[in-house]
Every structure is written in structure tokens, then in C-alpha cells.
Amino acid sequence: MAGAEAIIDVRGLTKRYGGTTVVDHVDMQVERGRIHGFLGPNGSGKTTTIRMLCGLLRPDEGSGTCLGLDIRTQSRRIKPHVGYMTQRFGLYEDLTIEENLVFIARIYGVSQRARRVRETLERLGLEARRSQLAGTLSGGWKQRLALAACLLHDPQLLLLDEPTAGVDPKARREFWDQLHALAGEGLTVLVSTHYMDEAERCHRLAYISGGRLLAQGTPAELVACAGLATIAISGAQLASLARELHARPGLQVAFFGNSLHVSAASAERIEAAGAAARAAGARVQPVDSTLEDVFIALMTQSQSGSNG
């Protein structure tokens, strides 16, 4: 959405702990009403970046704004306008759904609390369970309650840190349908995830590894810019063929059901891999590269360029 207002606009964001740089000069812009996916392996710096964006952590270097406010000098003014959902369930398990929401509404100083809690219960489909103890909820319902708590104070920005970890596929899909409905109303969402199907549902993506931002763009842009060629190999003896191809430099090899997907940034390496597969009696056909192929390639490049 060209020309849209940037809700988040940061440059050179850096955070160090001792001698370790966990976020390394990150530039990021997130537009209003968009779902911006934040991807990367465990320990890549996603959570630290999110916490700096909403004022929970002060950057060691860099500058920028969140909701038009300076992340260094105005962090206290940012927090009341942000909903932050952590990976782990952070509400009180010995309180009911409704009691948890009333408590959160008091913390935020929400006016007309009873009406706001009632509307939020209805909006998130929690009305019938309002008297159920939070500790007895399944992962999907806990997730829905956590999202409800984030929305009570009518934030302008949602920061979601791997919110669907451990949640079943149906609940994940319902959660993402809700996120798109919220974005359609103008709410901005920055969400970290490990799931490729969720990444494909984001308007834009950013990939971070080793604290460095390696790629940004729409899902289609990231696939196109990666420059990967991919083939699907099917037939007998795929396990032995996979071992042989794994030993070749510059190839990504993964099982996809009854076939192997092999990707590389080099057309020559893909052609050689295809020739080896045909020589072994397998069938080979070119296929479109996926986001998973792209992110595995980025992770491999990052690891090979590091010192460990």
C-alpha cells in the first residue's frame, strides 16, 4: 500500500548484552492497517526487537518512531497504545475469563469497563465461557483470551510474539482470520512466527537471523528476489538419493510427501542434481520455489557466514 502512514519507522536499531550483539542495526518500516510478519530462527533477535519497538527495552544504538512517538524518549507514551501478546500465556489461571479481562481493563484504566469487557467477550466468541477458569482452557481458547486482553484498551498496534505456538491448525486459522478482520479495521499488526502458512498470510515479511535483517518484502517479492531454482524428484530409492544430494554443496534437499524438493541459487547445480536423479531412474520436474525454500536458504547463508 504505497504511501501509507508508517506506524513503525526505525533505523539502525541495535541491542547488546555484554559482548554479544543480539540485534544488529535493524531498519524496519510497518504501515498502518497491515500485518507484518517477523520471521527467523530461535535466538535470532525477534523478541528483543519487538520489545525495543514498544518501549520495553531501550536500544543501545539507533533511533525511530512507533505510533509517531520517539522510541527512546517517549516510550512511556507508546505503551498505552500497544497490545503486546507474549508467546507464553501470561494471564491468571485461577481467575475466570471475565475476571481476567476486568483485571486487565482496570490496569489500563479503561472507561466503562463493564461495557468494554462485554463487547470484547462477544467479539472474540468468549461470551459462553465467561465464567470458565482460564487454567482449564485449551491452548486455542487461551490464545483467544490473550488476544481479547490485548484489545481491551483499543490499541493502535498489536505486537504478537509467536502467538500460535502449540495451538492446533483450526484454532490457528481462526486466529489469523481475526487478525485480518482487525487489520481491515485499521489496526496494525507485527507478528513473529515460525509457520510458513502463517507467513504467507502476512501483507509483508521481514526475516532476521543472527540479529541482522536479511530480507524484507511481500511473500511474492521475497520468493522472486531469492533467485532460487527448484525441482521435484519422485521415484524409488529417494532416501539414498537424498543422502547423495545432501553431500553436494549449495543444494537444499527436503522431503515433500512422496517426492524430494531440491533448491539452489545456481542453475548449474540444479541441472547437475537433476541429471544425477535421472541417472538413478527418478523423475524430475521443475516446480515453483516456496517461502520455506527461501527462508531455509537465508538461514543457511547466515550460518555459513557466521563464526558459529
Residue 212 inside a domain? The answer is: yes
Positive or negative, the Cα torsion across 168, 174, 177, 179? negative
Q: How many domains does the chain have?
A: 2
Q: At what angle do helices 139-151 and 169-184 cross, to 10 degrees?
A: 20
Under 8 Å between Cβ of 250 and 265:
yes
Judge whether residue 207 has pLDDT over 80.
yes
Judge whether residue 97 has pLDDT over 80.
yes
The residue among 9, 126, 131 whose CA lies nearest residue 62 is 9
Residue 25 inside a domain? The answer is: yes
308 — pLDDT class (breaks 50, 70, 90): very low
**Mean pLDDT over each residue of the chain, to the nearest integer:** 90
124 shares a domain with 44: yes
237 shares a domain with 207: no
Q: What is the CATH number of the domain that holds 245?
A: 3.30.70.250
Last residue of a domain, one of 175, 191, 223: 223
Judge whether residue 27 has pLDDT over 70.
yes
Residue 269 inside a domain? The answer is: yes
The residue among 235, 285, 289 whose CA lies nearest residue 264 is 289
Residue 144 inside a domain? The answer is: yes
What pLDDT does 139 receive?
A: 87
How far apart (Å, rounded) are the C-alpha atoms in residues 171 and 158?
19
DSSP string, 247-307: TSTT-EEEEETTEEEEEES-HHHHHHHHHHHHHTT-EEEEE---HHHHHHHHHHHHHHTS-
Count of alpha carbons within 13 angstroms of residue 47, beta-carbon side? 11
- Summarised one tens digit per residue, pLDDT across range 65-82 is 999 999 999 999 998 999
Which residues span the domain enclosing 126?
6-223
How far apart (Å, rounded) are the C-alpha atoms in residues 299 and 265?
14
Under 8 Å between Cβ of 163 and 175:
yes
Residue 259 inside a domain? The answer is: yes
268 shares a domain with 157: no
127 shares a domain with 250: no
208 shares a domain with 88: yes
Give 189's contacts (C-beta < 8 A, 6+ positions apart).
34, 35, 36, 157, 158, 160, 179, 182, 183
Q: Which three cell numbers stand for residue 243?
A: 543422502
Taking residues 279-307, what's their average pLDDT?
82
Residue 304 inside a domain? The answer is: no
Under 8 Å between Cβ of 213 and 281:
no
180 shares a domain with 65: yes
Residue 90 inside a domain? The answer is: yes
